[in-house]
């Protein structure tokens, strides 16, 4: 991933995380990193140490809710669920992103036409 893509990802990580959690209903940090990498065919490779500050930030802003869950063969995991406020924020961000992407498409289409 080049610097430009890295900056784009940096500005949209919160939307991607909220979107994934919304879809998975409940997810923990490691699962989110793997899922993002799998779905983007390895394009989005988040630095693992940055995931937890981001999750905590979203939780403190009331967009996520964290819960500890016991596992059968390891230490407890903290799973995150999206809150109604988080869903609202996600919808707003998704709509903004679609409008932005559409506008860029329109500019390029006009150029090539």
Partner 1 sequence: MVHYMMQTEVRIYLEEVRSHLYLKTDLEKQLINELNSHLQQKIDDLTSQGLSEEDAIHQAILSFGRAENVARLLYEACCKGSWADALKLSFPHFLAAVLFVSSPLHKTEVLLPLFGIFISVSLFAWARGKPDWLYSWVGYTLLPLFAGGFLLAPAITQSFEAIFGEGAWPSTGLLIEVALYYLLTIWVVLRISLQVIKRDWLLASLMLAPVPIIGCWLFYTQQAGGFYAGMEFDYLNQPVAQALMVLGFTSVLFIRMRRRVLKAGVAITVSAISMMVVGQALWGDIGFFGLLGLSLFSLLVFIIPAITNAAIGHGDPLPDRP
Q: Which residues bind partner 1 (CB under 8 A)?
A: 28-30, 47-54, 56-57, 60, 70-78
Cβ distance to partner 1 smaller for residue 83 or 94: 83
Residue tagged 């610097």 (tokens): 3
Cβ distance to partner 1 smaller for residue 76 or 88: 76
Pair of tokens at residue 11: 């500005």
Question: At closest approach, how far in Å is the CB of 70 from partner 1?
Answer: 5
- Is the backbone of residue 41 left (phi > 0), alpha (psi -120 to 50) or beta? left
Question: At closest approach, how far in Å is the CB of 110 from partner 1?
Answer: 41
Contacts with 33 (C-beta within 8 Å, 6 or more apart), sequence order: 46, 48, 51
Question: At closest approach, how far in Å is the CB of 67 from partner 1?
Answer: 12
């Amino acid at each position: 991933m080049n610097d430009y893509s890295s900056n784009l990802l940096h500005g949209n990580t919160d939307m991607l995380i909220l979107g994934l959690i919304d879809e998975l209903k409940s997810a923990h940090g490691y699962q989110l990193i793997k899922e993002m990498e799998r779905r983007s065919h390895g394009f989005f490779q988040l630095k693992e140490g940055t995931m937890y500050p981001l999750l905590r930030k979203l939780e403190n802003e009331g967009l996520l809710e964290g819960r500890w869950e016991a596992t059968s063969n390891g230490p407890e995991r903290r799973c995150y669920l999206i809150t109604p406020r988080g869903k609202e924020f996600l919808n707003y961000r998704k709509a903004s992103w679609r409008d932005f992407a559409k506008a860029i498409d329109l500019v390029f289409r006009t150029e090539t036409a």
